[in-house]
Structure 1
């Protein structure tokens, strides 16, 4: 078993009549597709037909294909079909707007995009803006002929063949493209299949429900591959719907749910009900729950939320999960590394940290291959890849501490990343777009606390002309409205504050530490506007 397609083919051979996907009525209505279940055998038939069509059109090993298909079954069917040919898929978040699409199309050099018809226009415009020719097709369309032959057509397709290119927020510039080989996804599935403890999966009987997007590694690697390698049924939702969540969980007969920290916080706000624990869920897998809510949630709803740690770059090569007791519920504990993972906690002096000391988490896989299960590297950025692996350890940029029993607790992010509702937002990316607005002379972004979403984006702007209080509110909303056409809605500032000057170093770099201290003090001041009400998913013109 060398590829994702081979793993899926083996699952379909072994469990042809078992359900691979379950599309609940609410998601089906949102997407305008048929509700119900799709069996492994029938799915493989569809994948095989798609693969033949792509091959006839000239796509093959070394090509990349963008997938802008949300959480629809088509995403998985096209992924597997392309994987069989050695084509790497580039998941495209449906929330991306002009500036983001232009960068992705240019940087990834995708040869074709399989996208919802209403997004064909924006993809074509983005490709034109960066001078690239891009074939675009609907998921039920016929692949247009490939413009170029497969770059690696004479090489065998195997475990190290690039399977996907996932973009993750960079801290010093544009998002970085993480090259993920087939091994990355296979290891994720194997890790989950064999995890055991409170996260034990039962072969051929699990029904895993996830509202998380397939453009992220949690759903694409862990959820999908865990079900493929255990013959389980994946229940992908279009998104998290708080009001109907428990009804969907019950109707889908979900036995496992995946979550982000914002979800339990919202669910706990609902009035308690006598049927809160009336479901079949055995555990939840996720990260970021408010420690103050953790025990209360488990008591009320009757199943454990297993906090885990991983990154797009680490995959299952260094995943850590609190799936065995003691879990230290309510303390930001995410468990203890398993024997196949090595961990170092390194303080600012470059020394190994002591018990209870906050330090940066460094990780690698144990054994002869320290990069087993990790990403292959950052596309077109060997320097960043080398820096991330300096000294033979992957430097995560996360600050953690180890307690006296050896368990790890998350503290903060060393990197300048804003974590909003599970999305990692690079401050520098938002800043680079805001600087293009004619009213903005200088800008710096930072996280401010949000009671539901964890963090919210604060933009501290030095304007060309300082407005009064009334003018500040109008200008803030103008900047946010403009930003919504250039950035995904969740990246756009939820607060805009106008200030006289940014905190800078002697070399005119932003003093991020001072900014982090300043930003939370600004909401409520005369020249700071709360624009969170504007941050809604935007309709996109074709």
Structure 2
């Protein structure tokens, strides 16, 4: 094919074509705003210059310890400064950051460390026991690095070879890092439960992280120097890419070890927090605070929420507190949120409850998501925009994952036909806004965390009295959704109580995965013997 005149003698060069990476955001902020605040954690106050030096020290020290580019460094940390620094220091060393879900048990963590081939793990003292138990299951032991925290309440038990600050002392604050030559290079690894029970390792690249971080700015019209409160776990989709977003705007990261509604309102008032994010349970906690613990804010405050669709009453309650709610939607496979219920001025005139119902929709695509549609999952033909016809949400763009680590079959299935298949079922409204109606994957989203029904069912089946079991999502005002188990007992086994099944599950699962409700019954089936979960979901809603 003959080149056009615009392709002749105009090659890509280092002067006009570079790989996109969110690591450039912190480099710029540290250069332009070196004395501006970057991190707040109790009495700790660090500037962008100090944070940048610490990130480079971390990269240098990891390299000095023999950890090579392309290898995995895991973090079992709450929202503390070291977790924020890891989002820059680890990839500055050319490594891949694997943020571990701090709510998981040792068996799940061991699988992730082995599957991701982690060479080092940053460990908070609160999770020393679970990491120690996980590492005992591994043939190849990673380097363990204790991360002390002045706000940790309890006796700090060390299991590592050295402490985090000692590791940083080994590093060079002027470490001559290199940015990725190829923006397709992996920046992070995030595990998602999926529907198989075994977690899938979702691989992010530098380009996608860069673009979704910028999208966060655009959707929120985020100004320079925002003050961001870490109510959202940084382990979850790399905090929806907000570590990189905050660096791009030279903002302030106000760290928070655990979600506490009163602490949140206090920090909003005292630190001048302008933005925060979280699952509907976070919003619900603020709404249900006793009146004497609520605070008046003398500045604008915004929150993004995602997960199970928040009840309109919760959205309305939060806005009555003076906090503007933006509803977003996404998945681990797309770097966190990629759709937003973009607001229209005409809706400002609607009554509060009606505005809240509109805000509960998942909305339209982010700026940096190339395409979004609701389509027939078989033909991939878009469904009518009638607010009635149900189809699958499909996505395409640079902020779709590279794929699933060591799982080509699952990657091909998820990206079949040039679209990412979310497995979520929705309708398209006439105005182009989508609204989720069901989840074809049967995943339960509880407090913003995915729970595999198959994993919970396996735990129930291990009880000697259980003949059949099925788990579905039960709507819950606090958590969004919780697991509801339907169980058929073996004939002649004797009496088994709901509490006995729950206690049995607690021995095999992380607490947030344990069913909150157990119903003993015959399970409805199709003619081929498949359990009809849609019937059980209807029954769970009645409980």
Question: TM-score, normalised to structure 1's length?
Answer: 0.82
> 1:534 — aligned with what?
none
Equivalent position to 1:306, from 298, 303, 326:
326
**Alignment check: 8 A CA contact 2:393 2:426 kept:** no
Secondary structure (helix, strand or coil) at the match of 2:60 reads: helix
How far apart are the structure 2 equivalents of 1:116 and 1:267? 27
Residue by residue over 1:207-242, the C-alpha shift from the partner in whole angstroms, topping out at 9 and shown as x without a partner, is 01131111112x624321221001111113222212
> 1:513 — aligned with what?
534
Residue by residue over 1:173-203, the C-alpha shift from the partner in whole angstroms, topping out at 9 and shown as x without a partner, is 31211001122221122112333xxx21112
Secondary structure (helix, strand or coil) at the match of 1:100 reads: helix
How far apart are the structure 2 equivalents of 1:119 and 1:244? 22
How far apart are the structure 2 equivalents of 1:520 and 1:309? 23
Secondary structure (helix, strand or coil) at the match of 1:313 reads: helix
How far apart are the structure 1 equivalents of 2:49 and 2:395? 37
**Pair 466,490 (structure 1): closer, same or farther in 2 beyond 3 Å:** farther
- The aligned runs of 1:124-135 (5 Å cut-off) are 124-135=132-143
Whether 1:452 aligns to 2:471 is no
CA deviation after TM superposition for structure 1 residue 8, in Å:
1.7
Kindly report the root-mean-square deviation, in angstroms, between the aligned alpha carbons of the 2 structures. 2.9
How far apart are the structure 2 equivalents of 1:137 and 1:445? 38
Whether 1:75 aligns to 2:87 is no
Secondary structure (helix, strand or coil) at the match of 2:233 reads: coil
CA deviation after TM superposition for structure 1 residue 252, in Å:
1.5
How far apart are the structure 2 equivalents of 1:131 and 1:92? 19
Residue by residue over 1:102-143, the C-alpha shift from the partner in whole angstroms, topping out at 9 and shown as x without a partner, is 321222121221212464453343234353333322133466
> 2:342 — aligned with what?
322
CA deviation after TM superposition for structure 1 residue 266, in Å:
3.0
Whether 1:353 aligns to 2:376 is no
> 2:151 — aligned with what?
none
CA deviation after TM superposition for structure 1 residue 312, in Å:
1.6
> 2:157 — aligned with what?
none
Secondary structure (helix, strand or coil) at the match of 2:382 reads: coil
Whether 1:283 aligns to 2:310 is no
How far apart are the structure 2 equivalents of 1:427 and 1:385? 21
How far apart are the structure 2 equivalents of 1:474 and 1:353? 44
**Pair 477,326 (structure 1): closer, same or farther in 2 beyond 3 Å:** same
Whether 1:104 aligns to 2:112 is yes
**Alignment check: 8 A CA contact 1:360 1:396 kept:** no
Q: Structure 1 unaligned runs (5+)?
A: 26-34, 145-153, 366-370, 524-542
> 2:442 — aligned with what?
416
> 2:92 — aligned with what?
84
How far apart are the structure 1 equivalents of 2:135 and 2:289? 45
> 1:432 — aligned with what?
458
Whether 1:13 aligns to 2:31 is yes
How far apart are the structure 1 equivalents of 2:231 and 2:106? 25
Whether 1:494 aligns to 2:516 is yes
**Alignment check: 8 A CA contact 2:229 2:275 kept:** yes
Runs of 4+ in 1 over 6 A off after TM superposition: none
**Alignment check: 8 A CA contact 2:21 2:180 kept:** no
Residue by residue over 1:418-467, the C-alpha shift from the partner in whole angstroms, topping out at 9 and shown as x without a partner, is 12122121111222333334444442211112232221111223344666
Equivalent position to 1:472, from 468, 473, 497:
497
Residue by residue over 1:358-381, the C-alpha shift from the partner in whole angstroms, topping out at 9 and shown as x without a partner, is 42343434xxxxx31221101111
CA deviation after TM superposition for structure 1 residue 80, in Å:
1.8
**Pair 498,391 (structure 1): closer, same or farther in 2 beyond 3 Å:** same
How far apart are the structure 1 equivalents of 2:463 and 2:373? 43
Secondary structure (helix, strand or coil) at the match of 1:171 reads: coil
- The aligned runs of 1:321-400 (5 Å cut-off) are 321-326=341-346, 328-331=355-358, 332-337=360-365, 341-347=370-376, 350=379, 351-354=381-384, 355-365=386-396, 371-400=397-426
- The aligned runs of 1:114-129 (5 Å cut-off) are 114-117=122-125, 119-129=127-137
How far apart are the structure 2 equivalents of 1:466 and 1:101? 38
Question: TM-score, normalised to structure 2's length?
Answer: 0.82
- The aligned runs of 1:57-76 (5 Å cut-off) are 57-76=65-84
Q: How many residues align structurally?
A: 487
Residue by residue over 1:147-172, the C-alpha shift from the partner in whole angstroms, topping out at 9 and shown as x without a partner, is xxxxxxx9965422211110112113
**Alignment check: 8 A CA contact 2:465 2:493 kept:** no
CA deviation after TM superposition for structure 1 residue 43, in Å:
0.9
